[in-house]
A = this chain, B = another copy of it.
Amino acid sequence: MHPIFRGIRKLTPVQAIVSYYFLAIAISVGLLNLPGVHQQGVQVNFIDSLFTSVSAVSVTGLSVLNISETYTTFGIAMLMIILQLGGIGIMSLGTFVWLLIGKKIGLRERQLIMIDHNQHSLSGVVNLIIEIIRLLLLIELIGALLLTVYFTQFYDTFSEAFLQGLFASVSATTNGGFDITGESMIPYHNDYFVQIINMFLIILGAIGFPVLIEMKAFLSNKNKNFRFSLFTKITTLTFGILLLVGTVVILALEMFNSFREMSWHEAFFTALFHSVSSRSGGLVTFDITEFSQGTNVFMSALMFIGASPSSVGGGIRTTTFAIAILFLINFARGKNEIQIFNREIQLIDVFRSFAVIILAIFMVLFATIALSISEPTLSITAIVFEITSAFGTCGMSLGITSELSSFGKSLIMILMFVGRVGLISFLFTIGGRTTKTKYHYPKERVIIG
C-alpha cells in the first residue's frame, strides 16, 4: 500500500476533508496574491482575499468584490483553478472517503456505487477518482465549447469569447457561482440557450457523483445486473421535485409582482433558472432584490436544503430532507418503517437526518441573531438569505456581502466552510462508532404535547 494512501487512511473522514480544505484555502490565498493577479491600482485587503478564497474553494460564489474589476485574465485563470480545487477536488476526495468509510463500517460500497467490483483495491479507487475527474473536466469542456462558439457573436475576439465561455462553464459546473460579467447572468436574461446550457451544467455538478457514475454505467450498458442504488433514486427524485416545486412557487409568488410585465416564457425561465440556481448554482438572470420578501424567504428555505450529498453543493442535502419528509409521511400513516422504492431506510440514517436538521437550524438561528447584532442596519430577510446561501454554498445574495463587517464576513466564511464540509461529515465520524450502552434503565413515557 502506498504510504500516502496509508497516511490518509488514518485520518477520519472529517479530518481528511477539513485538512484538504485548509490546504486548498491556503493555496488559494497564495494563488490570489501572486504578482499579476490584480488589475493595476487595485488593492485587496487580507480579509477580502481570504473571503474570496473560502468562497471559491467552497464553490459558494458569495463575493465581497467585483471579480471583473479586480482580477486580470491571469487572476481569473487562478480563480478557475481554485474552483477546480474546490469542486472537483471535493468530489474526488468525497469518493475516496466514502470508499474508506464503506470499508470501516463494514458497508459494502457496491451498495453505494454499483458499477465497479474491484474498488477494494487501491487501483480501483484511483481509477474511480480518475473517472470522476475525467467526467467533470469533459462536462466543463463541452460546456465551454458550446458557450464559446455561441459567445463569438457577442465578443470581438475569439480569445475573449473563449475566456467568457470557459469561465462560465467552470463556474456553472463546479457550481462556483462567480461571474466575470460584473452582473452574474443578468445580461443573458432573455437568452434561453445560454440559460439552458448553464442549468444543465449546474445540475450535473449538483446532482452528486454517484448519480453521474451510475448514469454512465447505466448508459454504457456493460453490466447486465446493473440497478440504480436507492441513494441515486432518492436524491434524483428529491432534486427533481425541488426543482419543480421551486419553479412553481417562485412563479406563483412573483406572477403579479416582479414578473407582471414579463411574457409567459420569460417568467417561466426566470422562475426555473432561480429554482435550479438555488440548489447550489448561485447564478442569477434577474435582480433578485426585486423579488418579494416571501420569495426571498422561500428561496432561503431552498438554499438551506441545498444539493445532493457528494456533489459540489452544500446545505443539509437533498437526502436529509427527503428522509425527514418520508419519515413524516410514514409517521402520519402510523408506520414505523420507512419504505420506498422497495427498500427500507435504516434507523441510523433517520437519526442522522434529524441530527443534521436540528444542528443546521440551530446554526442558522445562531448566525441570524449574531449577524443581526453585528449588522444592525440590514434587514433580517437579507441576513437569513445570506446565511442560508452561505450554508447551502449557493452564493446568491440580496447584495449585502460587501457591506458586511469583518465579523460578518468571518461568520459567513465559517458557514460556507461548514456548509461545504457538511454537518454530516462531523456526525459521520461519530455515527460510525456506536458506543454500546453498558446498562439499561427502565423506560418511561413522557408527555410530548
Contact = CB atoms under 8 A, between A and B. Distances in A.
A358 interface: yes
A369 B317 contact: no
Contacts of A336: 434, 437
Interface string A364-377: 01001110110010
B293 A444 contact: no
A26 B141 CA distance: 68
Nearest to A428: B449
Nearest to A346: B443
Interface in A228-243: 229-231, 234-235
Contact of A334 (B356, B373, B431, B448): B431
**Interface size bucket, A side?**
35 or more
Contact of A344 (B333, B352, B441): B441
A342 B441 contact: yes
A337 interface: yes
A292 B344 CA distance: 47
A309 B442 CA distance: 22
A294 B253 contact: no
Interface stretch (A159-167, A174-182, A264-272, A320-328): A320-328
Contacts of A361: 361
Interface string A332-361: 111111010011111001011111111101
A435 B329 CA distance: 13
Contacts of A298: 369
A428 B448 CA distance: 9
Contacts of A356: 448-449
A288 interface: no
B445 A349 contact: yes
A24 to B, nearest CB: 19
Contacts of A435: 333-335
A297 interface: yes
Interface string A105-147: 0010001100000000000000000000000000000000000
A1 interface: no
A301 interface: yes
B380 A112 contact: no
Contacts of A171: none
Nearest to A298: B369
Interface stretch (A4-12, A185-193, A399-407, A419-427): A419-427
B297 A448 contact: no
A339 B440 CA distance: 8
A425 to B, nearest CB: 6
A14 B434 CA distance: 38
User: Which 10 pairs from chain A and chain B are nearest by CB?
Assistant: A424-B449, A294-B372, A422-B449, A230-B444, A334-B435, A309-B447, A293-B372, A343-B444, A294-B369, A294-B373
Which of A301, A356, A442, A447 has the largest count of B CB atoms less than 10 A from its CB?
A447
A16 B439 CA distance: 41
B349 A448 contact: yes
B427 A345 contact: no
Given A323-B448, A328-B359, 11 more contacts: A253-B373, A292-B376, A297-B380, A317-B449, A319-B447, A331-B351, A331-B427, A342-B441, A345-B443, A354-B354, A424-B449
A205 interface: no
A443 B343 contact: yes
A49 interface: no
A219 interface: no
A402 to B, nearest CB: 21
